[in-house]
Structure 1
Amino acid sequence: MAEELSADYLVIGSGIIGSLAARKLALAGASVLILVATAPHPIYQPKDNGYLVQAGPYPYPAEYIRQFGGASWHWAAQAWRNVPNELRKNCN
């Protein structure tokens, strides 16, 4: 038989935001459960689509991973700048 759990708050996801929210609630005296769903890790082979032009001797294709703890485990120091088209206001 499954164990029955109870808490004041249920936080979905243990990534950066989920962890910070759970910590703040717990420090305020609330009981908190964090729910993390498992998902299959996709077989992902990045292909160059011309969107990102990398300069330098060591191009690095971005990867994707599903992991407990969210994207904080695999951000790989990738903080790409927006391209001009991403900053245009949608006029439609």
Structure 2
Amino acid sequence: MSKFGELIDLRVPVLLDFYTEWNDASSAMHPVLRDVAAALGDKGKVIKINVDKNSQLAEALRVKTLPTLMIYKEGEMKWRQSGEQDANTLIGLMQEYI
């Protein structure tokens, strides 16, 4: 199984953040994602994926806009949205899959 496959095949929901260092909207999401991770504790995971370093994965998943956020659980994509999101929305979405 690929490393990405292992990341998304967890029994807890996994929030993926596709970002770059140079994108302002991506940078604005950093504190939001810290809050989401803190609120979820061990009931969910937040994983940041730098598209500059993982361009093949970003291309395979058709990531065109940054940030792009996805929620996976047990290998299945449950939700996807591009653009900035607030912590409460993301926490609520993640809790639906706990």
What's the TM-score, normalizing by structure 2? 0.32
Decide which structure has greater strand share: 2
- RCO comparison, higher one (Cα < 8 Å, 6+): 2
Decide which structure has greater helix share: 2
